[in-house]
Amino acid sequence: MTVLALEIGSSRFAAGRVADDVGDEDIREIPVPASGAWDRCRELLLEVAGGAEVTALGIASGGPIDMAAGVVAPAEVPEWRTGFGIVEAARKVFPSAAIRIALDGVCLALAERNFGATSTVMDALAINVSNRVIGGVTVGGFTVVGRTGNAGHIGHVLVPGFDDRCTCGGRGCLESVAGGMSAVRWARGQGWAGTSVPELVEGARVGEDIPAAALGRAGIALGRAIASVAALLDIDFVVLGGPLTEVGPALWKPLGEAVATHARLSFLPGLRVKPSQLGDIAILAGAGVLAATRSDT
281 three-class SS: helix
pLDDT at position 270, please? 87
Q: Confirm whether 113 is domain-assigned.
A: no
CB burial string 179-206: b at 16+ within 10 A, e below: bbbbbbebbeeeebebeebebbbebbbe
> In tens digits, what is the pLDDT along the chain, a chain of 297 residues?
799 999 999 899 999 999 765 556 678 999 999 899 999 999 999 999 998 999 999 999 999 999 999 999 998 999 999 999 999 999 999 999 999 999 999 999 999 999 999 999 999 999 999 999 999 999 999 999 999 999 999 999 999 999 999 998 999 999 999 999 999 999 999 999 999 999 999 999 999 999 999 999 999 999 999 999 999 999 999 999 999 999 999 999 999 999 999 999 999 988 999 999 999 999 999 999 999 986 543
The reply to whether 259 and 286 lie within a common domain is no
Domain count, the chain: 2
Query: Are 97 and 155 in a shared domain?
Result: no
Instruction: Please give the residue range of the domain that contains residue 29.
Output: 2-106+281-292
Task: State whether 81 and 40 are in the same domain.
Answer: yes
Residue 112 belongs to some domain of the structure: no
Do 61 and 90 fall within a single domain?
Answer: yes
